[in-house]
Structure 1
C-alpha cells in the first residue's frame, strides 16, 4: 500500500489527484493541513509520497511550494 501525503481532506482535489495518479492501487492518505506538513511527513518516512500542487488556474505558479521543494532536496517523479 502506498502512503500519500496530501494537503487537504478526503474528497479534496489532492485526494482525487492521488487516486487518479495511482488507479486501482490501494493508497493510505496522510491528510495534512499545510504544504510544509507534507514535506515533514516525507522527511520523517522515506516511504511517504507527497502529492501537491505547484500551479493552479487561479493563482498560477505556487512559488511557496517551489521553494519548499527546492529546500527539501526532493525531486518530482510525476505530474
Structure 2
C-alpha cells in the first residue's frame, strides 16, 4: 500500500483513515518513528510495548523501545527500579 501525504506547517502528517484501520491505529495509539536509509519509518508499537508504555520513569527516550521495555521489565522483575 502506498499513499502520498503532505507535511503541514507544524510538521504533522495525517495518516489516512483507511491506513489507520488496516493497521489498527486509533486515537492515542503509540507509534515508533525511525529514520532508515534516508526514509521515515513509522510503525505501531506492539501490544507488549503498549501495555508498559508510561509505567517506567524514563530519563532519556531510548532509540530501541522494544529493547528498553524488555530491559526495564527484567530490572523490575529482579527488584530494581
Q: TM-score range by the shorter chain?
A: under 0.3
Structure showing greater radius of gyration is 2
TM-score computed with the length of structure 1 as normaliser? 0.22
Task: Specify which structure has the bigger relative contact order, considering alpha-carbon pairs within 8 angstroms and separated by 6 or more residues.
Answer: 1
TM-score computed with the length of structure 2 as normaliser? 0.22
